[in-house]
DNA sequence: ACCCAGGAGCTGC
DNA sequence: GCAGCTCATGGG
């Protein structure tokens, strides 16, 4: 992979890297498409307390105003650039999954901050993506650290567990989180106390991690699996939500066994999700 | 007015 | 175990 460094960091001829697919496949909630930008695709957002504007230009991906150090330390791991998605796609045996992968070959699993992922997917339960985004933005604006980016505008980092614990359950409820407020508050308390130790969690297997996460109120199998996949790089972690349940019924039936997807089941899950939700739905 | 949204907890059997 | 109800909120 060739990367040029100047004012911007530029990946030349990026493979398996489609900004719209990456940011619209439901794995993250803080990057949004820049509707003003017409000569390609441009997204802006905040991760790891940093603002990023990233756009495509032909086959190049341009990380605007990004120093080499930030690219290597933050965005390279965030966009999972060390992983060979082409090889993973080529290895998929299942016919339907292979077709979904072909049509979603630009997806990459973002390596997000574990704490933010836990909260985001607690918020996601019985909820829809636009409203999830709105709630997370409100929580960030009220309790996250404010900073000014190179565009001169103010942005907000996702708040720490300490900040949300100190804010209290009532203030979290006021962000329109509804019945999830007590869950978020419980998660913040358990992370702060070390009852759920994020650093220790990084050493656990996918199954062990799920078991630990599910000790947090409001974290069940689906939220735990999403956290493992998007926050801890457990690519075998296979979240089953309403969309994937539909996919299983529609293409695989009752005899479905996740093990057919192997060690990259989680990545394949994203291909299936993207196909069903973004490709088929857009045809309607 | 109803239904649903990247679910999970609780109750009753 | 596991089906059925409930949980806030907002958009269609």
pLDDT digits (tens, 9 = 90+) for A162-188: 999 999 999 999 999 999 999 999 999
Predicted TM-score of the model (pTM): 0.97
CA of A104 to C1' of C10 (A): 30
| Contacting residues 117-136/A vs strand C (CB within 7 A) | 126-128, 130-131
In eight-state DSSP terms, residue A263 is G
CA A83 to C1' B8, whole Å: 33
pLDDT for A146: 98
Q: Look at residue A284 in the predicted model and tell me its pLDDT.
A: 60
CB-based contact A19:A28 (threshold 8 Å): no
Q: Which residues touch strand B (CB under 7 A)?
A: A 25-27, 124-129, 131, 179, 214, 217-224, 226, 239, 241-244, 269-270, 273
Region of A179 on the Ramachandran plot (φ > 0 left; ψ -120 to 50 alpha; else beta): alpha
pLDDT tens string, chain A, 284 residues long: the values are 999 999 999 999 999 999 999 999 999 999 999 999 999 999 999 999 999 999 999 999 999 999 999 999 999 999 999 999 999 999 999 999 999 999 999 999 999 999 999 999 999 999 999 999 999 999 999 999 999 999 999 999 999 999 999 999 999 999 999 999 999 999 999 999 999 999 999 999 999 999 999 999 999 999 999 999 999 999 999 999 999 999 999 999 888 999 999 999 999 999 999 999 999 877 76
Buried b (16+ CB within 10 A) or exposed e, A14-48: bebbbbebbbbbbbbbbbeeeeeeeeebbbbbbbb
CA of A127: nucleotide with nearest C1': B5
* Apex A149 CA angle, A198 and A168, nearest 5: 45
Pairwise CA distance, residues A120 & A136, whole Å: 7
- Which residue, counting CA atoms, is nearest to the C1' of nucleotide B9? A218
Beta sheet of A9-12, edge-to-edge order: A2-5, A9-12, A60-63, A50-57, A42-47, A31-33
Residues (33-72, chain A) with CB within 7 Å of strand C atoms? none
Nucleotides of C under 7 A from a protein CB: 7-11
How many C-beta atoms lie closer than 10 Å to residue A65's C-beta?
15
> CB of A236 within 8 A of CB of A264?
yes
Which residues on adjacent β-strands are paired with residue A62? A10, A55
For residue A52, what are the CA distances in angstroms to A72, A140, A282? 14, 16, 28
Q: Is the CB of A141 under 7 A from strand C?
A: no
Structure tokens at A5: 């460094």
Strands (DSSP E) contained in chain A are 2-5, 9-12, 31-33, 42-47, 50-57, 60-63, 146-148, 154-156
Q: Which nucleotide is nearest to A135 (CA to C1')?
A: C9
pLDDT of residue A283: 72
Gap from A127 CA to B1 C1', in Å? Answer: 21
SS3 content of chain A, % helix, strand, coil (to 5): 50, 10, 35
The pLDDT tens digits for A91-124 are 999 999 999 999 999 999 999 999 999 999 999 9
Tokens, residue A96: 């339907």
Residue closest to C8, CA→C1'?
Answer: A178
Count how many Cα atoms sit within 13 Å of the Cα of residue A63 in the half-sphere of its side chain. 25
In chain A, residues 155 through 174 whose Cβ sits under 7 angstroms from any atom of nucleic acid strand C: 173
Residue with tokens 């990946």: A11
* Nearest CA-CA partner of A73 in A96, A50, A94: A50
């Amino acid at each position: 992979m060739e990367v040029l460094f100047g004012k911007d960091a530029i990946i030349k001829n990026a493979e398996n890297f489609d900004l719209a697919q990456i940011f619209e496949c439901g794995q993250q909630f803080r990057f949004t498409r820049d509707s003003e930008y017409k000569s390609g695709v441009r997204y802006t957002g905040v991760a790891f307390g940093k603002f990023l504007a990233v756009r495509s230009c032909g086959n190049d991906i341009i990380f605007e105003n990004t120093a080499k150090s930030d690219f290597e330390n933050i965005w390279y791991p965030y966009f999972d650039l060390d992983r060979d998605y082409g090889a993973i796609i080529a290895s998929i045996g299942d016919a339907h999954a292979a077709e979904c992968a072909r049509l979603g070959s630009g997806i990459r699993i973002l390596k997000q901050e574990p704490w933010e992922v836990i909260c985001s997917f607690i918020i996601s339960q019985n909820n829809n993506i636009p409203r999830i985004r709105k709630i997370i933005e409100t929580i960030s604006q009220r309790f996250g650290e404010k900073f000014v980016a190179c565009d001169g505008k103010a942005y907000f980092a996702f708040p720490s567990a300490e900040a949300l614990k100190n804010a209290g359950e009532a203030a979290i409820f006021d962000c329109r989180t509804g019945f999830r407020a007590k869950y978020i508050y419980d998660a913040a308390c358990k992370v702060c106390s070390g009852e759920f130790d994020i650093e220790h969690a990084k050493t656990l297997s996918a199954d062990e991690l799920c078991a630990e996460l599910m000790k947090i109120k409001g974290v069940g199998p689906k939220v735990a699996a999403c956290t493992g996949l998007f926050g801890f790089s457990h690519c075998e972690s296979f979240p089953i939500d309403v969309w994937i349940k539909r996919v299983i019924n529609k293409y695989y039936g009752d005899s479905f066994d996740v093990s057919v997807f192997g060690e990259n089941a989680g990545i394949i899950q994203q291909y299936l999700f993207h196909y069903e939700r973004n490709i088929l739905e857009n045809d309607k």
